[in-house]
Chain A
Amino acid sequence: MAIEKILKDDASEEKGERARMASFVGAIAITDLVKTTLGPKGMDKILQSTGRGREVTVTNDGATILKSLHIDNPAAKVLIDISKVQDDEVGDGTTSVVVLAGELLREAEKLVAAKIHPMTIISGYRMAAECARNALLQRVVDNKENEEKFKADLMKIAMTTLSSKILSQDKEHFAQLAVDAVLRLKGSTNLEAIQIIKKPGGSLKDSFLDEGFILDKKIGLGQPKRIENAKILVANTAMDTDKVKIYGARVRVDSMSKVAEIEGAEKEKMREKVQKIIAHGINCFVNRQLIYNFPEELFADAGILAIEHADFDGIERLALVTGGEIASTFDNPESVKLGHCKLIEEIMIGEDKLIHFSGVEMGQACTIVLRGASHHVLDEAERSLHDALCVLSQTVNDTRILLGGGWPEMVMAKEVDELARKTPGKKSHAIEAFSRALVAIPTIIADNAGLDSADLVAQLRAEHHQEGCNAGIDVISGSVGDMAELGISESFKVKQAVLLSATEAAEMILRVDEIITCAPRKREDRM
């Protein structure tokens, strides 16, 4: 029993070995959780939300799984955080980063048990990470100059990324979609210009890339369904009765007739506004806010297509692709930039009517329409496609690529092993452990595919002793294969981010020797 209680009642404090154990256990538990989703034969998870409706998500995207977990263990939180950042920064590799960090900690646990100081382990890990990064840098392939080859590279990367997802059945189809979409961006990483619309029905194969822009809205009644050479005014304005914005103003009347007069004035005001809008010489008007029946009728009379309640993203994107500006005042029609497109028409996808803008000014934009059997499939498909798009857009900027299928890990492990042999002192144990953690990734990929991992990894290691070896795990045939021939590639940027943030996270958790938990804030029982 402690002498004096310093902390508050429910607060707890764990020290030294126990604290370290708590964080190791937490981190490794998280790793084991997502481990089985790694690789082309990784399994999916069902996540059920605690919210109303008990919504179900089926996914094998590491970041999505971890995001939905309610975790109490602080070390586990660090891992979740790195996976989230990986998702934000490069979009893919969210599972790998957690698995690598977990494996590093698993190795560190053994070293700590062997009485090696955590600080020594950290400095060993740092050296190893630096060495591994250099090893990768030496082996990168850069096909920036050769456009044909580069496109093939992108294709390979997209296929590799997609092969571990639900889309793997149609990966070629989707890889083509993703590469086409990203190449249209011409080097910008602005994924906003790529719109993804999900429509249940049909099969995944029916998904397609559309060069125009699709707005998930209906055309107002009695308005033209097809407009050629459209001039579009994109607006964000209230199309109900305008509020009087001067503070404190209020209407005060003393008779019914006055009410009617003011109502008339209001109507007149609206009519004027609509006239002003029409005076822009447009034939399509898209508003972010509601359009009331009265102005809608006026637009219909003028033969103008009026679309109401397009959400903010939709408006911004539409303005971007048609080259118009988002207008809120309509007094100077000559200086407002209108958007243009060749053709607006109503199209049917499945059972829904959508508005399709084709021949838009900015060729960068495009829409990918996903079709699939259920909402869950579509959601997962969107996540997978998003991963692929992110990776591709990053690769367009940083064109260095590597082979995949556990090849980079083996290359790094080999270099790190060599470094371990050269390093004097206790650090070499840590460096060796780092290389073991790296090898764990191909091992897990093989395990998940139901292969004999021990055999395969040993074989790989032997192969990698030759210079310039391209060997990796070929999950399909269940043997060691030439990754260059199989066309399995990964982006260097993703691998580097995985390596660095995993090391950083492991380091952070290793440095901890005490956990102090404050008393949880008392919440009212909502039940």
Chain B
Amino acid sequence: MALAFDEFGRPFIIIKEQEQKTRLRGIEAQKANISAGKAVARILRTSLGPKGMDKILQSPDADVTITNDGATILEQMDVDNQIAKLMVELSRSQDYEIGDGTTGVVVMAGALLEQAEWLLERGIHPIRIAEGYEMASRIAVEHLERIARTFDFGPTNIEPLVQTCMTTLSSKIVNRCKRLFAEISVKAVLSVADLERKDVNLDLIKVEGKVGGKLEDTELIYGITVDKDMSHPQMPKQIEDAKIAILTCPFEPPKPKTKHKVEIDTVEKFQTLRLQEQKYFDDMVQKCKDVGATLVICQWGFDDEANHLLMHHNLPAVRWVGGVELELIAIATGGRIVPRFQELTPEKLGRAGLVREKSFGTTKDKMLYIEHCANSRAVTIFIRGGNKMVIEETKRSIHDALCVARNLIRNNSIVYGGGSAEISCSIAVEAAADKYPGVEQYAIRAFADALDSVPMALAENSGLQPIETLSAVKSQQIKDNNPYFGIDCNDVGTNDMREQNVFETLIGKQQQILLATQVVKMILKIDDVISPSDY
């Protein structure tokens, strides 16, 4: 395969070899990989920060997603290149681990690759670069710990948490009512948090959305909502002090797993069978009634007859409730999931203060609210919004905010945002570089430059002069020896991130640097790409 360069210095392919497999080797392979990584980073670069732009993604089935969440963009991008896939993985692992900063990590990795390319051209061996990056990342992470602040919060003082969530939300479409959403997220997390163990099970927070209404109508429900209605239209729509039987068996005659046949050959048998069948239904309903249940929630469907019997016995029921929701209901109401009618006992019933059906708008949309549960550790965030895409995007934003709040509960250290942490690290790494003898010094210095690219992108997206702004902030940081100066994205008038209340979590930032470095190291170590040619 032969390469040439166009007027912008970008290589392009002239002749395709008539081989079975295309193969790239040595420096060429590294360059191709780097440029692929950079291309991915370039796509995300404009989404960074409070003034970042959104992307429209059209799926193979022509569904539209509008988002600026890095992980979502990459996931839906239908990437074909191997290295680009690595970047997608990178963003995904940041999403799993931290939940936020998925864009930042890719931009960071892209910048590292860019610097590496330059070093490669100077003839530095990729492994040396990788080692230099490794050292630099260690310095940066240690430095982050030094400049990190811890703050105290408690169930009464949630302000710092809210502020941090607001920083996360300010880059999303919901930033119009970020205060509201931040408060909702923090309250949701706190109500399910285990402050002793410093852990939060995010599975307990359900995020549910319904189109219509305004974003401001979004609410936090201390309980569960289920997108179902009562199985019989005439069952009561509101139940107070409900005792809930949570069943995973259908209201139908049992279906034994073993193969069997019931043969009917006489009239008597036919009649006994019929009687037995009726008894089944009666028994089932009676069992529920006997244990004192006032509401039956079932994973499966009911027969018409069972439905009427339930109605008749004044026992409201909900059918076809999904497994996940069933579990949440069980957790929230303190009930147990019962797989067989025989095992139904009063202790296994869940309790809720209020169960009500609520309808929306002009269509017949109904939802079931289960509130004031015995164990209020499961909550629901119920999102309203003008259209489907806003709701989807809001869900993603809320997820990010929830993750941030959780991270803070795990570790209450924060660093200041707006690029200030990166600039500060960059200064520290730069200073440390001079102490290393050997070629790694260059790699470490390059790492420092790469760190600058995040604030640079922030400034660029905010419509500021990137280089001018960055150098001004940097000199200010060195002069005042103060790591709190960052990019003033919102035109507030101060560079001091403490005043702007822009925080990010320490673990989020550390993870970003570590993950980006790791992936870049991996990409640098590849010196041969063999891929089957297209047909």
- The interface of chain A, by Cβ under 8 A from chain B, is 1-9, 11, 13, 19, 23, 72, 74-75, 77-78, 81-82, 85, 87-91, 117-120, 126, 189-192, 236-238, 242, 244-254, 258, 261-262, 264-266, 269, 316, 319-320, 325-329, 331-332, 335-336, 390, 393-394, 500-501, 504-505, 507-508, 511-521
Contacts and interface: CB of A to CB of B under 8 A. Distances in A.
B304 to A, nearest CB: 4
A516 B73 contact: yes
8 contacts: A7-B79, A72-B62, A77-B64, A247-B256, A261-B267, A328-B309, A508-B389, A511-B66
B77 interface: yes
A357 B80 CA distance: 65
B61 to A, nearest CB: 6
A314 to B, nearest CB: 12
B233 A504 contact: no
Given A516-B55, A520-B62, A252 B264 contact: yes
B36 interface: yes
Given A89-B362, A319-B234, A516-B55, A247 B73 contact: no
Nearest to B81: A6
B357 to A, nearest CB: 12
B78 A519 contact: yes
B308 A501 contact: no
Contact of B260 (A2, A19, A248, A513): A248
A8 B73 contact: no
B53 interface: yes
B interface residue count range (under 10 / 10 to 19 / 20 to 34 / 35 or more): 35 or more
Of A242, A262, A518, which is in contact with the most chain B CB atoms at under 10 Å from its CB? A518
B213 A504 contact: no
Contacts of B305: 237, 328-329
Contacts of B263: 249-252
Given A81-B389, A244-B274, A327-B308, A393 B267 contact: no
A6 B53 CA distance: 21
A472 B387 CA distance: 31
Interface in B302-322: 303-305, 307-309, 311-312
Contacts of A192: 364
B interface, by DSSP: helix, strand, loop or mixed? mixed
B234 A505 contact: no
Contact of B66 (A190, A265, A508): A508
Given A3-B10, A261-B267, A265-B267, A512 B81 contact: no
A81 B388 contact: yes
B76 to A, nearest CB: 7
A8 B80 contact: yes
Interface stretch (B155-163, B247-255, B410-418, B501-509): B247-255
B270 A262 contact: yes
A320 B233 contact: yes
B312 A507 contact: no
A339 to B, nearest CB: 11
Counting from the closest, the 5 A-B pairs by CB-CB distance are: A328-B308, A513-B53, A501-B386, A521-B60, A249-B262
Contacts of A512: 53-56, 66
Contact of B55 (A11, A89, A515): A515
Given A89-B362, A90-B361, A189-B359, 12 more contacts: A4-B36, A5-B80, A6-B39, A74-B66, A78-B66, A78-B387, A238-B304, A245-B253, A258-B265, A261-B267, A328-B307, A508-B173
Contacts of A508: 54, 66, 173, 387, 389-390
Contact of B264 (A75, A85, A250, A331): A250
B22 interface: no
Contacts of B277: 244-246
Nearest to A501: B386
A250 to B, nearest CB: 7
A504 B390 contact: yes
A264 B267 contact: yes
A23 B64 CA distance: 12
Interface string B216-234: 0000000000000000111
A249 B256 CA distance: 12
B265 A252 contact: yes
Nearest to B214: A500
Contacts of B39: 2-4, 6
Contacts of B265: 251-254, 258
B276 interface: yes
A504 B386 contact: yes
Contacts of A393: 362
Nearest to B88: A6
A7 B214 CA distance: 36
Given A77-B64, A501-B387, A23 B56 contact: yes
B262 A521 contact: no
Contacts of B6: 1
Interface of B: 6, 10-12, 32, 35-36, 39-40, 43, 46, 51, 53-62, 64, 66, 68, 73, 76-81, 84, 173, 176, 211-215, 232-234, 252-256, 259-267, 270-271, 273-274, 276-278, 280-281, 303-305, 307-309, 311-312, 359-365, 385-390, 463
A247 B257 CA distance: 10
Nearest to A120: B463
Contact of A245 (B43, B60, B173, B303): B303
A515 B60 CA distance: 14
A327 B307 CA distance: 9
A154 B309 CA distance: 43
Contacts of A520: 60, 62
Contacts of A253: 265
Given A265-B271, A269-B274, A520-B62, A514 B56 contact: yes
A3 B35 CA distance: 7
Contacts of B267: 261-262, 264-265
Contacts of A258: 265-266
Contacts of B363: 88
A171 B33 CA distance: 69
A101 to B, nearest CB: 10
Contacts of A264: 267
A307 B307 CA distance: 22
A192 to B, nearest CB: 7
Contacts of A117: 51, 463
A6 B79 contact: yes
Of B256, B273, B312, which is in contact with the most chain A CB atoms at under 10 Å from its CB? B312
A258 B263 CA distance: 13
Contacts of B84: 4, 6
B285 to A, nearest CB: 10
Given A1-B12, A4-B35, A500-B214, A325 B79 contact: no
Contacts of A327: 308
Nearest to A246: B253
A369 B491 CA distance: 61
Of B10, B64, B84, B215, which is in contact with the most chain A CB atoms at under 10 Å from its CB? B64
Of B56, B234, B254, B262, which is in contact with the most chain A CB atoms at under 10 Å from its CB? B56
Contact of A516 (B77, B232, B312, B390): B77
Contacts of B215: 504
Contacts of B365: 88
B470 to A, nearest CB: 19
B60 A519 contact: yes
Contact of B233 (A6, A82, A319, A507): A319
A237 B365 CA distance: 26
A81 B387 contact: yes
Contact of B56 (A19, A329, A394): A19
Contacts of A332: 312
Given A6-B40, A325-B234, A329-B308, A88 B32 contact: no
Contact of B270 (A265, A501, A507, A511): A265
Contact of A518 (B32, B76, B273, B312): B76
Given A23-B56, A250-B261, A511 B68 contact: yes
Contacts of B274: 242, 244, 269
Nearest to A502: B386
A4 B32 contact: yes
